[in-house]
Structure 1
Amino acid sequence: MAPFTLRWGIISTGGIATTFAKDLLVDPATREVTDVQHAIAAVGSRSVPSAEAFITRLRNAGGASAHGVSHAALDSTTAYGTYEEVFADPAVDVVYIGTPHPFHHPNAKAALLAGKHVLCEKPFVMDLAELDELVAIAKEKNLFLMEAVWTRFHPIAYAVQREIHSGKLGRVRRVTAELSSYAHLDERADNDRMIDPKLGGGALLDLGPYPSVWSMLVLHQHPDNTDQAPQVLDSSQRIYARNGVDELSAWTVRWDGLAESRILCDFTAWTPRDCAAVIDCEHGQLIVEHPLYRPERYRIVPHPSTVAGSSESAPPPPRPGQITEESVHHCPIPAGNGMHYEADEVARCIRDGKTESARMPLAESRVVQGWFDTVRKQGSSVLKDLVGNAGK
């Protein structure tokens, strides 16, 4: 049977949209996929020449993307000077939204109202009310809707879940996850998307989705979890004075009866490369290495075994099940950047008539968006009292 071909409309021609579009062109066989494939039916930008230039860059990209070019994935691509024309194009099955954060809601809403399925970049929206409105429209129109949290679909994400959820490491005690990136804020213009409040600037929304991934996969989806509404226990923000957005946000979430997670995102430091996420368990630790958004290696390490207060003491005998030796596990992405995995999920869901993904359900997007709202409202950034565009 021939693979199902999903026809994409791409709106925005910036960096993340370019990466996503290039990944659509990677040979599915490189990731052992034979049931779905992708074509780009339309590209929307602020002008037709801009959209045409984007398509030309894709055709000339080479490397892993050359497969799609040579297999007709761009042969029928139409360049449009407005997003509305992409939404109206009957050749488009699903729209990928790669615009800045504050435009996700209006762009996704317009696409859904035009009858298109939607994959929307993270953070999904600016506040929970916007997300609830999108979900309501998608359900009313029986359309697929998903937040593009690509890391959830990487080989390592499944591998880490198997390790933790199998019980091999015993009970989960705590998860800590950090994504920090020294962003040279003082060197950026006031209208740079990283720090411009009008573009949703700040570390919380730009970086926050990534460390949240690991808490959701490990704890929220844990077979022993019964808390579907984990709450923020405490939060803190440090404000970048020039623009009033957060340069650092940190918060703690508790899953009642299971464990807690501490999440950190920071524009003024770097993530520790060898321990971006640490899952502390009864018998040892599982450590995910940086880059946290696209890791390919994790380690399982023993707990420190030296008796407290006596560095010369012999270590105590291992307890039943305790990890005694470190092991290293590689989970490479064989070709492309890794966004094609989420695209494959979208294709299968739409092919099968599903309106949301079991791997990235809308209820879980709602949980994380709720954390962002809470941290923002408890902080003192200029976005503290932001009200989104729901109902407009």
Structure 2
Amino acid sequence: MSQPIRWGIISTGYISTSFAKDLLVDPATRDVYDVKHKITAVGSRSVESADKFIEGLKNSEGVHSWGLTSGVLDGVMGYGTYEEVFNDPNVDVVYIGTPHTFHHPNSKAALLAGKHVLCEKPFTFDLEELDELIKIAKEKKLFLMEAVWTRFHPIAYAVQEELFSGKLGKIKRFQADFSMDMKPETADPKHRMLNPDLGGGSLLDMGPYPSVWAMLCMQHHPSNQNRPPKLLSSYQTVLKRTGVDLNSRWLLEWEGVGQGLLLTEMGVKGFGPMTALVQCEEADLAIHWPPYKPESYTIHTHPQNRDSPETQAVTHHVPIHPGIGMHYEADEVARCLLAGKLESDRMPWEESRIVQGWFDEVRKAGDTVHKDWKGHAGE
């Protein structure tokens, strides 16, 4: 096996904790033997905060305890600035887990320091920021990827195999919904979901999840031939307390494939156990909740006539191996680095650009406080 990929972790919140813990899981438990990981640096707003994060990892139990005895944390450094992580010669790639509006400046600084980057979703605030990052990655020959972890889960491949086999017939329409009741009328307005300065609102925070299923099921469909869809319409409801979007919905059309309705909402819970539905000629494929890490889907065969009940409903379970499920994207990064790639075939730059483009169009057509905001490209 090759030498481990050495990770630097930026930010010490929940998402970074989840990612770092998954690096402590034995790759063999998910049948991975070609790559391995090591955490060599953690950056926070203070050394104390970074050290507390590291100490928390060292106290991990269960499936995460493997990494403690296998050297994943040996020699890890805690830094009080992100720049120290970017400049650490023992770091190969940086994981960016900061709030949305910091993704661009943090990723840009890491790239300019010569580090490969895995950045949390949404990749950036707008397309101009993303294009600048891609330009830098190309110029410096560095790997860059958006951390859409769901793309690498076993169920993502299983759903695509089911749809692309043709046995369900031609796709008729698609819909995906990520809705949760976050009590936006009473929640702390400084919370990242409500705070405009942190990219708050449902679109940027929740939008990547219905989008990932749209990309996997519709954009990747063989009959689409990788053509981007057209945005037909969109609408946003404004949360008056802070001016961010309470909900967003947008309708897309893949010519020759079908239409897709995507919805995000932080004021009401989604309907039932389903998060996405692909309706085809012969049957419907329902992807179960939650949209970010479902572990089952159901095929509903169409009835013989409109007055008959459905003849069959078969549920398929595709579990995530031990861990949270973020280790799959880490494995992809490791393989790409070992192969000398600048981007992932499974999560290429152009597909991040397509989704970022939807977000820009929906935001600019709405009436939230973010309507006319611009990112920091060029700064």
Would you say the 8 A contact 1:4–1:35 is kept in 2?
no
- Cα deviation 1:136-163 (Å, max 9, x = unaligned): 0000011000000000000000000000
Partner of 1:344: 331
Partner of 1:209: 208
Partner of 2:193: 194
- Cα deviation 1:65-119 (Å, max 9, x = unaligned): 1111110100110000000000000000000000000000000000000000000
Alignment of 1:181-260 (within 5 A): 181-226=180-225, 228-260=227-259
Partner of 1:357: 344
Structure 1: distance between partners of 2:321 and 2:112:
37
One-letter amino acid matched to 2:129: E
Structure 2: distance between partners of 1:190 and 1:247:
13
Q: Secondary structure at the match of 1:187?
A: coil
Alignment of 1:271-350 (within 5 A): 271-307=270-306, 311=307, 324-350=311-337
Larger radius of gyration: 1
TM-score (norm 1): 0.95
Would you say the 8 A contact 2:219–2:228 is kept in 1?
no
- Cα deviation 1:187-214 (Å, max 9, x = unaligned): 3222111101000000000100001011
Give unpaired runs (5+ residues) of structure 2: none
One-letter amino acid matched to 2:192: R
Partner of 2:357: 370
Partner of 1:10: 9
Alignment of 1:47-58 (within 5 A): 47-58=46-57
Would you say the 8 A contact 1:64–1:336 is kept in 2?
yes
Structure 1: distance between partners of 2:255 and 2:199:
31
The structural deviation recorded for 1:324 is 4.3
One-letter amino acid matched to 1:197: P
One-letter amino acid matched to 2:203: L
TM-score (norm 2): 0.98
Q: Secondary structure at the match of 2:357?
A: helix
The structural deviation recorded for 1:306 is 4.2
One-letter amino acid matched to 1:371: W
Would you say the 8 A contact 1:271–1:290 is kept in 2?
no
Give unpaired runs (5+ residues) of structure 1: 316-322
Runs of 4+, deviation exceeding 4 Å: none
The structural deviation recorded for 1:326 is 1.6
The structural deviation recorded for 1:3 is 4.2
Q: Secondary structure at the match of 1:364?
A: helix
- Cα deviation 1:333-387 (Å, max 9, x = unaligned): 1211000000000000001100000000010000000000000001000000110
Q: Secondary structure at the match of 1:327?
A: strand
Would you say the 8 A contact 1:9–1:40 is kept in 2?
yes
The structural deviation recorded for 1:305 is 4.1
Partner of 1:23: 22
Would you say the 8 A contact 2:103–2:124 is kept in 1?
yes
- Cα deviation 1:203-227 (Å, max 9, x = unaligned): 0001000010111001111111135
Would you say the 8 A contact 2:303–2:311 is kept in 1?
no
Would you say the 8 A contact 1:104–1:124 is kept in 2?
yes
The structural deviation recorded for 1:229 is 2.5
Would you say the 8 A contact 1:248–1:266 is kept in 2?
yes
One-letter amino acid matched to 2:134: V
Q: 1:97 to 1:62 in 2, by over 3 A?
A: same
Q: Secondary structure at the match of 2:274?
A: coil
Partner of 2:99: 100
Q: Secondary structure at the match of 1:174?
A: strand
Question: Which segment drifts farther, 337-346 or 327-336?
Answer: 327-336
Partner of 2:123: 124
Structure 1: distance between partners of 2:295 and 2:33:
23
Partner of 2:378: 391
Q: Secondary structure at the match of 1:215?
A: helix
Say what the alpha-carbon RMSD is for the aligned residues.
Answer: 1.2
- Cα deviation 1:250-288 (Å, max 9, x = unaligned): 001111121111000000111224221000011100100
Would you say the 8 A contact 2:25–2:67 is kept in 1?
yes
- Cα deviation 1:227-249 (Å, max 9, x = unaligned): 52212100011111110100100
- Cα deviation 1:106-134 (Å, max 9, x = unaligned): 00000000000000000000000000000
Structure 1: distance between partners of 2:39 and 2:227:
37
Partner of 1:171: 170
Partner of 1:262: 261
One-letter amino acid matched to 2:265: D
Partner of 1:379: 366
Q: Provide the identity percentage.
A: 57
Question: Which segment drifts farther, 186-195 or 252-261?
Answer: 186-195
- Cα deviation 1:41-84 (Å, max 9, x = unaligned): 10000000100000000010211111111101001100000000
Structure 1: distance between partners of 2:88 and 2:186:
41
Question: Which segment drifts farther, 199-208 or 178-187?
Answer: 178-187
